[in-house]
Structure 1
Amino acid sequence: MARTLSYILSADQGATLAFWSVPGLGPKTLEALRAFAGGSLETLVSRPVREWLAEAPVSAPVRGRLAAGEPLPVLAERTLERCAAGGMEVAFSGQPAYPERLVGTPDAPPLLFYKGQVGPPRRRVALVGSRHPEQGFLPFARDFARQVAEGGVGVVSGAAMGVDRACHWGALDAGGETWAFLGSALDELDPPQARLLPHLLERGGVFFSELPPGVRASRSTFPRRNRLIAGASDAVVVLRAGRESGALYTAVAGEALGRPVLALPGDVRNAAAEGCNGWIRAGRARACLSVKDVWDFVGARPVVAVPPGAGEGWEGLSAEAQGTYGVLDRVPRTFEEVLAAVRLSPAALTSALVELELSGLLIQHPGRVFERI
């Protein structure tokens, strides 16, 4: 037996879902309809559309769809049935599963469709970038996201090929939380997104979309979903973006919402980094030189675990040495890789590495390659 709308939702939620299921009807039109109805959408849904449509504050295309479409309660029920068939849930603004940072932002949707288990409140950061960065950048992006997640910070991105997807994988590598906001309905995934979905859900990630079932991605839906990525996050970090990169839409959305915007600088000869460099030069983004910069901007305070056997000697280490130990792991890293992950000058990092080596907490291999013990 199909689930009934009255059993699942309140009257206001059912009315909201009904209108949200009408193609082309967005947050601003929905609020205009609510005001037109005297504050309750239910009063419109409970009446035949023909009685109020002529005076309703909607565009001509939406007016035509409302006039020719199914009754609104039936439309909402059909949407719920498709959600149930596709394993989707619905979160309304203000409910625990709806991203709390998104509540109240301009043009925020009244509800989101999602798959996965939404975790408790935490600091979250949007990590975004180009679909086609320069060769060799994606492993760096994945490792950067892994380190962000290791600090207890959730990673938010768009599941697009390239940097976005690498960041999701990096968060999963750390066993951290990651959210993906899509430019299509959750039952209209492209093949790479469909392959990512089970891995992400298995490890506690979430797929979100504001689009009701059956809506495919288009050139307009991708820029709009970027405002959700920024709105659900405490800061936006652009890891790689050319001058015309779509990742900059997320930066623009973050800027408009007052979120801190950071960008990873790149070689001035690298066209794939022109967008990041341009935002930094214009003062629209702060240069992101290490993972610690991200933690600082979202107010995270990761605790570096005391290494086994360190004993009282750990307390005697400098803050620089303790911080450097936190970014090392059992995979050998070059000096340049460590430098990119810490907020230290080359001289200060050299001193910290010597301190750790003398304390027996790392091994230096030939060629200035370091591995923590």
Structure 2
Amino acid sequence: MADTFTHSQTPEQRATLALWAVPGLGPKTLEAVRAFAGGSLARLLGSPVSEWLADVPVTSQVRRRLGQVEALGPVADRVLERCAAVGMELAFAGERAFPELLAAAPDAPPVLFYKGHIGPPRRRLGMVGSRHPDQGFLPFARKFAREVADGGVGVVSGAAMGVDRACHYGALDAGGETWAFLGSALDELDEPQARMLPEFLDRGGVYFSELPPGVRASRQTFPRRNRLIAGASDAVLVLRAGKDSGALYTAEDGLALGRPVLALPGDVRNEAALGCNQLIRDGKAYACLHVEDVWKWVGARPVLAVPPGSGGGWEALSEEARGAYRLLERVPRTFDEVLAGCQLSPAALTGALVELELSGLVIQYPGKLYEKV
């Protein structure tokens, strides 16, 4: 397994991975090193580090760490072997599993480590808030996230206790897709995140981290992961935040990236909502009063499904459309998969799926993938 995993990378990706594993070397420094290497990090892969170490544009601290390495290739091998051993996947910028919006951010990492299944492109909302909101708020946050996901919008957050976790579970309650960006490597999860992982993956969630194996969470890593939540989202919603809440950093990151920022207003006497109220007062965030505000600002146009058997639009559907709907799930299925499960001809199934799309009961993604709303 390790050999297959290791040799699936291109020389450029292997060099990128090795350099990214050096503590203190961030996205901007990596690009400076790429320019030094003539636009291709792969040129450094086959040369001893000692041959180019003196001239490479890095800090003295990074230079000392690179000086402890003979060559980049073995470093990449060790990282890849560790990823394979713990079931961790990699996505480099430009690959399908790497969030397209995030890849366009100026401070995006060159590679992400992840666990879970990456679904098809969709609109996504960053949903963040306090670890310790006011009493009774978490059920509301979970319900609101479910409503967001019911509209086909993916939920992005940080898997922290409190509001973040409630939003993840709300999306999973709706059978939606949710992404968690963590402040540690995926093999260094804290105990609550490790306990949550199996259920999270089973229900369609994805864990992401920019940190290579072995890196534990710290005061530096948590603020940096906030930019990933904002960067991977079409908009950011702060549900609950006191004046010093870390969720406000995610809002600032969203503003810096030009993302719409929304905030849920709260009682002016509630200190737990002070940060949200100040964002709105200062013109940094739009007031979010209901889920339709989310759909507006992320650019989604959801048409909520009429549950089978509830009358209305469902009763007006053809028998073929109803049958096709029953075969679909809250995860995308290909046309051929649906066809194999029904007795319709390809032409009849095509008509049924078009009818379901027009009724707002089904979303079609590129590549003829169909998902029940």
Task: Write out aligned runs for 1:176-215 (5 A).
Answer: 176-215=176-215
Deviates more, 1:34-43 or 1:3-12: 3-12
Alignment partners' CA distance in 2, 1:140 and 1:251: 20
Check if 1:139 corresponds to 2:128: no
* Residue equivalent to 2:171: 171
Q: Please tell me whether the aligned partners of residues 92 and 98 of structure 1 are also in contact (alpha carbons under 8 angstroms).
A: yes
194-203 vs 210-219, which deviates more?
Answer: 194-203
Deviation for aligned residue 1:312: 7.7
Using the TM superposition, give the Cα deviation of residue 314 of structure 1 relative to its aligned residue in structure 2, in angstroms: 9.8
1:114/1:286 CA distance change after superposition, 3 Å: same
Classify 1:190/1:287 alpha carbon distance in 2 versus 1 (closer, same or farther; 3 Å): same
- Residue 44 of structure 1 pairs with residue 44 of structure 2: yes
Instruction: List aligned pairs for 1:191-340, cutoff 5 A.
Output: 191-306=191-306, 308=309, 310-311=311-312
* CA-to-aligned-CA distance 1:57-108 (integer Å, 9 cap, x gap): 1011110000013521111000000000110000000101000111121110
* Residue aligned with 2:115, SS: strand
Question: CA contact under 8 A between 2:50 and 2:70: conserved in structure 1?
Answer: no
What is residue 58 of structure 1 aligned with on the other side? 58
RMSD between superposed Cα atoms in Å: 1.6
Shift of 1:49: 1.1
Contact in 1 for aligned 2:6/2:77 (Cα 8 Å): no
1:256-304 Cα offsets, whole Å, 9 max, x none, are 0000000000011111111000010000000000011001111212213
TM-score if structure 1 supplies the norm length? 0.82
The structure with more radius of gyration: 1
State the partner residue of 1:322: none
Deviation of the 1:4 alpha carbon: 6.0
Q: Contact conserved, 2:150 with 2:174, CA < 8 A, in 1?
A: yes
2:227 partner letter: R
Q: What number of residue pairs does the alignment pair up? A: 315
Ranges in structure 1 where 5+ consecutive residues have no aligned partner: 316-373
The 1:42/1:313 distance shift into structure 2, 3 A limit, reads: closer
Query: Within 5 A, what are the aligned runs for 1:93-172?
Result: 93-172=93-172
Counterpart for residue 83 of structure 2: 83
Q: TM-score, normalised by structure 2?
A: 0.82
Question: Closer, same or farther in 2 for the Cα pair 1:286/1:309, shift >3 Å?
Answer: closer
2:64 counterpart letter in structure 1: G
Q: Output aligned runs, 1:357-368, within 5 Å.
A: none
Instruction: Note closer, same or farther for the CA distance 1:3–1:237 as it changes in structure 2 (3 Å cut).
Output: same
Q: Which amino acid aligns with 1:10?
A: T
Unmatched runs of 5 consecutive residues or more in structure 2:
317-373
Question: 2:62, 2:247 → 1: CA distance?
Answer: 30
The verdict on how the C-alpha distance between 1:298 and 1:69 changes in structure 2, with shifts beyond 3 A counting, is same
Shift of residue 195, structure 1, vs aligned partner:
1.2
* 8 Å CA contact 2:44, 2:72 repeated in 1: no
Question: Taking every aligned residue pair, what percent have the same amino acid on both sides?
Answer: 72
> Is the 1:5–1:77 contact (alpha carbons within 8 Å) kept by the matching residues of 2?
no
Shift of residue 166 of structure 1?
0.5
> 2-side partners of 1:311 and 1:114: how far apart?
42
User: Distance in 2 between the 1:15 and 1:116 partners?
Assistant: 25
CA distance in 2, matches of 1:296, 1:155: 15
Given the superposition, is the C-alpha separation of residues 279 and 211 from structure 1 closer, same or farther in structure 2, using an over 3 Å criterion?
same
CA distance in 2, matches of 1:60, 1:164: 38
Alpha carbons of structure 1 residues 256 and 82: separation in structure 2 relative to 1, 3 Å: same
